[in-house]
Amino acid sequence: MLTFLIRRVLIAIVLLFVVSVISWFIITLTPGSPLPWSELNPKISQQTKDLYRKKFHFDKPLHVQYFLMMRDLIQGKLVSNKDERPVILKIGERLPATLALNGVSLILTFGFGIPLGIWSARYSGRWPGTLSTVGAFLAISLPTFWTSYLLCIFLVKYVQVPILGLRTFGVEHTSFVTLMLDYAWHLFAPALVLAVGGIAVESRYIRASLLEALSADYIRTARAKGLPEAVVLYKHALRNSLRPFITGIGFLLPGMIGGSVIVESIFGYPGMGRMGYQAVLERDYPVLITLNLVGAALVLAGNLLADVLYAVVDPRVTLE
Amino acid sequence: MPERQAKRRGMRPGGERGERGMAGEAGSTANTGEMAGAPHRTPLSDAMRRFRRSGVGMSAFVVLCILFVVGVAFFVLGRAGVHWPYDPNATELEAKLKPPSLAHPLGTDNLGRDVLSRILHGTYVSLTVGFVVVGISAIIGTAVGAVSGYAGGWLDNAIMRIVDALMCFPSFFLILTVIALLGPGLWKIIVVMGVLGWTGTARLVRAEFLTLREMDYVVAARALGQRTVPIIFRHILPNALAPVFVSAVLGVSGAILTEAGLSYLGFGVQPPQPTWGNIVADGRTYVLDAWWLIFFPGVAILVTTLAFYLTGDALRQALTPSERKTE
């Protein structure tokens, strides 16, 4: 167990190094300048530009830039090109909102995905099974910006609840209950949009592994014993098909950055996805590199977490 | 988008075991056990027959054919200067933001352009992106996976570590970063998505090669003195292509959705060229006044991606008979 963890962490460090080099190449070799002003802007003196370049090390050769940036990143001193605030601090500010959004989205994903998967496995081969297959693909095919806007239109016109941002303006002076309800509404809409695809994927996973379990010998035995179908399904089969649950948890972590760029932009939600989008627009190299690295670290952490959990729940799986 | 990524991994066609659908030189007459009458049944013709029998898959395939014809027809019409039903870029300011009517079945946008014409003339963009992106990534992925799986050893190890590193990136965010820094444009998007999207195919092909290279017919070919390149391309590859084909068809949907997302964020094909994503992007300011600007292009994207997913899923079931019981 310990050697497994140590080996995986060492591999992860090597991979993160490769990721940092690749991101650095992609970001610096593409045309364009990180300076906040146009090169031709006559109001900015050459001296100012040189000072800016010197300050953020853009006057040095590329490999030196890379090492300086990585040194600052590891020491936690890396600052944004745009507002000169530490990148760690900027990400830390966004983290609670991101965690809340993805947490609610995860609850929705499992809350709907698992029952749907059970239902479609149970009626596999009959019309409800076909319906659920088509339904799952339909949900995966939904463009997130489209569902976001339709949900916006629906909520604003018919339900009339606030949705944009994190809280309604001026709500700070109301009671605790109003505050919480307000927060819940702001969280619910983007989380639902984010969860739709996940629900479909999760239900497909559950369905596939449940179907596999249902064709096993011990299920035939359970049925032959005369156990009620509900006990066979929920106690015998379902317990042995919960791997997708773990896979889903493993995928949650990496989703926190890339998955929510569009949804967070539409709902004005202050999470890490929107921060990445803004950093792309502003060519904020330190933030971009850090976010790519954090994203890669989350993918690796998610995979590792899933592998460890598999071994925890299933005694047949051993960590080699 | 992680859910897309998850889906790609989860719904990976299960061609690992059982018969292979594509007829290569080997094994094409191996499963003749249930042969009844038909003189020339091959695994491929069996798969075609199974595909034709699946109702959902065939309907989706028909939809795809219609979309393809529409895409090509309106591309040719646009190039020929024939504007039907309207010129997609002709503005008519006195008829701006009109709801759907007989004159404009899907309404008009903020400049009075006909939404139906814009959607029809934007069809080829989505289809081109989908097919070319998947084509590029399938070719790179197949080549890399074939070399890696056949060679084995340190080369395999090195290639797979690079694949691992590329798979670590948050994919949509990486594509967004590259496109934003390179500047928008149809061909830039296609190349970036294609070049960044081959890792899944490479893993798939490598896994196929790892099992296939141990097969007797490969050993026989080697014993007969065949050189490595013909063994890889003539003997093994045809037997490894079925899962690649299925994942490519499913991958078209993902590419179309990603392109629509990029177009929506303003990094896609630039106006005035209409695409499904940028019609929505243009309409977002009027989201509460003109629902048709958002709704109809979204339906077009939805129908197209759904058709590709369902066709791909039916193909997967047709090409991997061992999985048919779970349909």
pLDDT in tens, B145-196: 999 999 888 999 889 888 888 888 877 888 888 888 888 888 889 999 998 8
Same domain, residue pair B70 and B26: no
Residue of A nearest to B255 (CA): A141
Residues in chain B closer than 8 A to A31 (CB atoms): 181-183
Q: Please give the share of chain B, as a percent, with pLDDT higher than 70.
A: 86
Statement: residue B4 has pLDDT above 70:
no
Asked if B261 lies within 8 A of A143 by C-beta distance, the reply is: yes
Coil, helix or strand at residue A55: helix
In a domain, B103, yes or no: yes
Residues in chain A closer than 8 A to B288 (CB atoms): 153, 156-157
Residues in chain B closer than 8 A to A299 (CB atoms): 167-170
A4 within 8 A of A49, measured Cβ to Cβ:
no
Nearest to B67, CA basis, from B135, B124, B115, B129? B124
Residues with Cβ within 8 Å of B151's Cβ and at least 6 positions away in sequence, in order, are: none
Statement: residue A177 has pLDDT above 90:
no
In a domain, B44, yes or no: no
Same domain, residue pair B225 and B318: yes
Same domain, residue pair B82 and B202: yes
Q: How would you class A127 by CB atoms within 10 Å of its CB: exposed for 0-12, middle for 13-18, buried for 19 or more? A: exposed
Is A140 at the interface with chain B, CB within 8 A?
A: yes
Q: How far apart are the CA of B171 and the nearest CA of chain A, in angstroms?
A: 7
Same domain, residue pair B111 and B152: yes
Q: What share of chain B is helix, strand, coil (3-state, %, to 5)?
A: 70, 0, 30
Asked if B3 lies within 8 A of A197 by C-beta distance, the reply is: yes
In a domain, B10, yes or no: yes
Asked if B173 lies within 8 A of A295 by C-beta distance, the reply is: yes
Q: How far apart are the CA of A260 and the nearest CA of chain B, in angstroms?
A: 8
Q: How would you class B69 by CB atoms within 10 Å of its CB: exposed for 0-12, middle for 13-18, buried for 19 or more? A: exposed
Coil, helix or strand at residue A149: helix
Q: Which two tokens stand for residue B309?
A: 């997913």
What whole-number distance in Å separates Cα of residue A206 and Cα of residue A196? 16
State mean pLDDT over A218-236.
90
What are the φ and ψ backbone dihedral angles of B108, each rounded to 5 degrees? -125, 160
Is the complex ipTM higher than 0.90?
Answer: no
Q: Which two tokens stand for residue B297?
A: 């292009």
Residues in chain B closer than 8 A to A292 (CB atoms): 169-170, 173-174, 177
What whole-number distance in Å separates Cα of residue B301 and Cα of residue B307? 10
In a domain, B311, yes or no: yes
In a domain, B46, yes or no: no
Same domain, residue pair B212 and B300: yes
Residues in chain B closer than 8 A to A125 (CB atoms): 327
Q: Which two tokens stand for residue A98?
A: 């991101």
Asked if A205 lies within 8 A of B10 by C-beta distance, the reply is: yes
Q: How far apart are the CA of A131 and the nearest CA of chain B, in angstroms?
A: 10
Q: Could you read off the pLDDT of A289-316 as tens digits, one per residue? A: 888 888 888 888 888 888 888 888 878 7
Q: What does pLDDT average to over chain A?
A: 85
In a domain, B51, yes or no: no
Is A27 at the interface with chain B, CB within 8 A?
A: yes
Q: Give residue A317's Cα distance to chain centre.
A: 27
Residue of B nearest to A279 (CA): B177
What Å distances lie between residue B69 and A182, B48, B85, B128, B296, CA to CA?
Answer: 49, 22, 16, 13, 19
Same domain, residue pair B16 and B132: no
Q: Residue B127: what pLDDT?
A: 94
Q: Residue B11: what pLDDT?
A: 39
Q: Residue B52: what pLDDT?
A: 86
From the list A32, A140, A298, the residue facing B181 with the nearest CB is A32
Same domain, residue pair B98 and B245: yes
Residues forming beta bridges with residue A285, ordered by sequence position: none
Say which CATH number the domain at B206 has: 1.10.3720.10
pTM to 2 decimal places: 0.84
Per-residue confidence at B322, pLDDT binned at 50, 70, 90? low
Same domain, residue pair B227 and B175: yes
Q: Which two tokens stand for residue A80?
A: 């944004």
State mean pLDDT over B249-269.
89
Same domain, residue pair B15 and B69: no
Q: Which two tokens stand for residue A266?
A: 């539409």
Tell me which of A106, A149, A158, A202 to substitute to probe the interface with B (most B C-beta atoms closer than 10 Å).
A149
Is A283 at the interface with chain B, CB within 8 A?
A: yes
Same domain, residue pair B250 and B101: yes
The DSSP letter of residue A79 is B
From the list A32, A200, A254, the residue facing B2 with the nearest CB is A254
Q: How many domains does chain B have?
A: 2
B257 within 8 A of B270, measured Cβ to Cβ:
no
Q: Residue B154: what pLDDT?
A: 92
Q: Could you read off the pLDDT of B9-45 as tens digits, one per residue? A: 333 343 333 334 443 434 444 444 444 455 677 878 8
Q: How many CB atoms lie within 10 A of CB B161?
A: 14
What whole-number distance in Å separates Cα of residue B254 and Cα of residue B175? 13
In a domain, B53, yes or no: no
Tell me which of B12, B169, B323 to substitute to probe the interface with A (most A C-beta atoms closer than 10 Å).
B169
Same domain, residue pair B179 and B212: yes
In a domain, B54, yes or no: no
Residue of A nearest to B163 (CA): A15
Is A296 at the interface with chain B, CB within 8 A?
A: yes
B259 within 8 A of B126, measured Cβ to Cβ:
yes
Q: Residue B147: what pLDDT?
A: 92
- Taking one residue from A and the other from B, the number of pairs with CB-CB distance under 8 angstroms is 185
First and final C-alpha spacing in chain B? 27
Note down the domain range covering B182: 59-323
Same domain, residue pair B135 and B283: yes
Q: How many CB atoms lie within 10 A of CB B210?
A: 15
Residues in chain A closer than 8 A to B158 (CB atoms): none
Asked if B183 lies within 8 A of A31 by C-beta distance, the reply is: yes
